[in-house]
Amino acid sequence: MADTQPTTMRKVGTAVTAVLLGGTVVAGALVGQNTNAKSLEPTAVKALQSAGITGVDVSFKGREAYLTGQGATDAQLQQAKQVVEGIYGVRWATISGGTAGTSPAETSTAPTTPTETTPVPTATPTETAPIEPTPSTTEPTPTAPSTTMPETTPPPSATPTTPTTGLTADQVSQINNTVVTFANGSYSLNAAAKKSLDAVVPLLAQSSVNLTIDGYVSLPHPAGRETIDSKRRAQAVADYLVAQGIDTSRITVVGDGSANPVGDNATTAGQAANRRATLTVS
């Protein structure tokens, strides 16, 4: 009995020591876990703020991070996860909450499609807007004024005035010699063109003559557009005269395309001369 008692006491002492050591280890682990959470959490919050990520909350249990964000998108949460897991000491990060964040990105790209297609349609309407298909049937008529022009010129030369029109031969000649030119690709009047027309407006206003306006284009010109575009130039002249008080019923507008060139279309100067509109008293 004397020998067994010390042995028993040693075993009891060893067991007590083991329990005390185990408690110390567990307590130390809990303290270390709490210390990690307290030190890592503010670091993670600052890292998210520096990355410009809002709406994401972060909390720690030891070295494990937990990210939540009911108002954040999935993309934001994933970005936050990468930021937090990049912090030294963080073991891993878990995500909860979030919404489908892909919808805004898709809808934002949708307007780019109309933006790209918009310029294409706008070019077409500007060219086709002035198109007047019905008057194109009057194209055979313009050939008649060109033949009457020489006929009307000689009679006034013998007679100072023409009672039926109220114009002298010189005045008729002045109108018939008026030529309006256009810039390449242009169908509107410049200052020089308006000045030329202003000189004949009083003559037209004091008389009852009718007027034929012929428009022309130079070559080369887009195929199928010669008649349409030449008529646009003649119409620009007609619109200006009407705006100055000349009755529109007295004016006939004709598109002659590239016919009757007055210049060589092989040269720049010739092309500039052919882009024109002429006036003929009828």
pLDDT in tens, 70-82: 767 888 888 888 8
Q: For residue range 118-159, list pLDDT tens digits in order.
A: 343 444 444 444 444 444 444 444 454 444 444 444 444 444
CATH 3.30.1330.60 domain range(s) in the chain:
134-281
Residue 225 has pLDDT above 60, yes or no: yes
What architecture is domain 4-100?
A: 2-Layer Sandwich (3.30)
Residue-level pLDDT at 248 = 97
Q: Are strands 64-73 and 251-255 parallel, antiparallel or unpaired?
A: unpaired
The whole-chain average pLDDT of the chain stands at 75
Identify the weakest region by mean pLDDT among 57-61, 125-129, 153-157, 176-180. Answer: 125-129
| Separation of alpha carbons 182 and 173, rounded Å | 22
Give the percent of the chain with pLDDT over 90. Answer: 41
- Burial environment of residue 137 by CB neighbours within 10 A (0 to 12, 13 to 18, 19 or more): exposed
| Separation of alpha carbons 187 and 116, rounded Å | 27
> Which residues are 278's β-sheet partners?
179, 214
| Residues making up the chain, counted from first to last | 282
Residue-level pLDDT at 176 = 97
Residue-level pLDDT at 32 = 52
Is the backbone peptide bond immediately before 119 cis, with ω within 30 degrees of 0? no
Pure H helices in 186-260: 191-205, 226-243
Helix H or strand E segment including 110? none
Select 134-281's CATH number: 3.30.1330.60, 3.30.43.10, 3.30.710.10, 3.65.10.10.
3.30.1330.60
Compare 35 and 256 and report the one with higher pLDDT: 256
Residue-level pLDDT at 89 = 86
Compare 54 and 127 and report the one with higher pLDDT: 54
Residue 101: pLDDT band (50, 70, 90) is very low
270 residue type, one letter: G
| Long-range CB pairs of 73-76, under 8 A, 24+ apart, other chains included | 73/98, 73/99, 73/100, 73/101, 73/104, 74/98, 74/99, 74/100, 74/101, 74/102, 75/101, 75/102, 76/101
Residue 282: pLDDT band (50, 70, 90) is confident
Contact 67, 94 (CB under 8 A): yes
Label residue 260 left, alpha or beta by phi (over 0 means left) and psi (-120 to 50 means alpha): left
Contact 231, 255 (CB under 8 A): yes
Contact 83, 51 (CB under 8 A): yes
Contact 276, 216 (CB under 8 A): yes
Average pLDDT over residues 100-128: 38
CATH 3.30.1340.30 domain range(s) in the chain:
4-100
Residue-level pLDDT at 263 = 96
Residue-level pLDDT at 5 = 54
Q: State whether residue 123 is helix, strand or coil.
A: helix
pTM above 0.85, yes or no: no
Q: Which residue has the tokens 């428009």?
A: 215
Cα-flanking dihedrals φ and ψ of residue 31, to 5°? -65, -45
